[in-house]
């Protein structure tokens, strides 16, 4: 999967995009003046594209788009402090019940086999999913240290 941003991203959006790409084992693509058509043409066949869009200069929307299937996922969120940490390429494990299939993001699936595999390996990258009322909080942790948090309203997740 390739992650890119809107045309002229703010510093906070670029930082989030780079940290998220490194965390999820994605490739980050600096967009520059490339149109979305150019970005889609540079995708390897069968690969998907993740785009972080801004609202009022802050990262606010994550869209996952497959060239043939269209938009797979759209999440509207608020982000907290982002820490830059060196990470390895271990797989990502979701702890809890996210409102979407983690397989869309390239994480281990929540099936029996995926959960069994997650217990066998000691993954350093974990995403804790918590619910507070109608809010869903995704806490991205590496070695049990919080890297950043995404807070989203449950009604703003479109699958």
Q: What is the pLDDT of residues 54-72, one digit of tens each?
A: 999 899 999 999 888 888 8
Distance in angstroms between the alpha carbons of the first and the last residue of the chain: 18
pTM exceeds 0.75: yes
Which of the listed residues 53, 78, 103 is the one where a domain comes to its end?
A: 78
- 83 found inside a domain: no
- 86 found inside a domain: no
SS3 77: coil
- On whether both 25 and 54 belong to a single domain, the answer is yes
Phi/psi for 22 (5° steps) reads -70, -40
Number of structural domains (the chain) is 2
Q: What is the pLDDT averaged over residues 138-155?
A: 90
- 124 found inside a domain: yes
**Which tens digits make up the pLDDT trace of 96-120?**
888 888 888 888 877 777 777 877 7
Q: Which residue has the higher pLDDT, 148 or 36?
A: 148
- On whether both 102 and 74 belong to a single domain, the answer is no
- 85 found inside a domain: no
């Amino acid at each position: 999967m390739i992650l890119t941003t809107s045309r002229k991203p703010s510093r906070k959006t670029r930082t989030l995009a780079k940290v998220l790409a490194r965390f999820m084992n994605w490739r980050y693509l600096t967009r520059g003046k490339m149109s979305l058509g150019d970005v889609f043409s540079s995708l390897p066949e069968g690969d998907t594209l993740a785009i972080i869009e801004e609202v009022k200069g802050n990262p606010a929307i994550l869209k996952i788009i497959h060239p043939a299937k269209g938009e797979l996922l759209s999440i509207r969120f608020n982000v907290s402090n982002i820490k830059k940490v060196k990470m390895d390429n271990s797989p990502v494990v979701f702890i809890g019940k996210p409102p979407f299939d983690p397989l869309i993001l390239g994480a281990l699936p929540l099936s029996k086999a995926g959960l069994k595999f997650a217990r066998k390996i000691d993954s350093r990258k974990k995403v804790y999913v918590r619910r507070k009322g109608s809010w869903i909080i995704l806490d991205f942790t590496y070695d049990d240290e919080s890297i950043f948090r995404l807070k989203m309203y449950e009604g703003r997740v479109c699958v």
